[in-house]
């Protein structure tokens, strides 16, 4: 083989190596981007879980400590003189609906699938009168997508007459 053919073969090998390197860099960049998205998603979920935990802790304090309930009731103006047991039941309902809100947030972020979401929403009392009344009064404290989902579940449970 003469020099020109060797040169052509070397150029072809070099060109192939450059193309392969660019493909590899593209794959690695895509993987890195996906990993960054997953890390961001995990941080969002973790931060939201921490927030929900703080809200639950506050509600548990109010449920467990009768002396705190009238103070917070006065701050929130929630009950207009409701008795302590009714105030406690409202706090429990808040915890349950917030539990559903966290599950829905995780579902929206792709961290759980629809079957897991529906399982996590099981304790949310959408089929009870107390749950429905609470939801009517407090649903604007939740995200629009979660409100729409719960409203649809309530509508479906009303039609079927069951909690499922």
* pLDDT at residue 48, as a whole number: 72
- Of 14-28, 64-78, 96-110, 114-128, which range is least confident? 64-78
For residue range 76-102, what is the model confidence (pLDDT) as tens digits? 665 555 577 777 888 889 889 999 999
The 3-class secondary structure across the chain, one letter per residue, is CCHHHHHHHHHHHHHHHHHHHHHHHHHHHHHHHHHHHHHHHHHHHHHHHHHHHHHHHHHHHHHHCCCHHHHHHHHHCCCCCCCHHHHHHHHHHHHHHHHHHHHHHHHHCCCCCHHHHHHHCCCCCCCCHHHHHHHHHHHHHCCHHHHHHHHHHHHHHHHHCCCC
Task: Evaluate if residue 5 carries a pLDDT over 90.
Answer: no
C-alpha 153/C-alpha 164 separation (Å) is 9
Whole-model pTM over 0.75: no
Residue 30: what pLDDT? 83
In the predicted model, what is the mean pLDDT of residues 109-115?
90
Summarize the confidence of residues 42-51 as an average pLDDT.
76
Distance CA 97, CA 137 (A): 12
């Amino acid at each position: 083989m003469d020099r020109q053919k060797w040169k052509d073969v070397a150029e072809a090998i070099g060109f192939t190596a450059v193309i392969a390197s660019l493909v590899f860099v593209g794959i690695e960049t895509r993987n890195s981007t996906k990993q960054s998205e997953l890390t961001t998603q995990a941080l969002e979920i973790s931060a939201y879980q921490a927030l929900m935990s703080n809200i639950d802790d506050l509600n548990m304090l109010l449920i467990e400590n009768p002396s705190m309930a009238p103070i917070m009731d006065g701050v929130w103006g929630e009950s207009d003189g409701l008795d302590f047991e009714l105030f406690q039941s409202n706090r429990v309902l808040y915890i349950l609906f917030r539990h559903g809100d966290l599950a829905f947030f995780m579902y929206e972020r792709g961290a759980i699938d629809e079957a897991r979401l529906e399982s996590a929403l099981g304790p949310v009392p959408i089929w009870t009168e107390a749950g429905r009344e609470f939801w009517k009064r407090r649903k604007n404290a939740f995200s629009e997508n979660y409100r729409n989902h719960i409203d649809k579940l309530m509508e479906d449970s009303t039609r079927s007459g069951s909690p499922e």
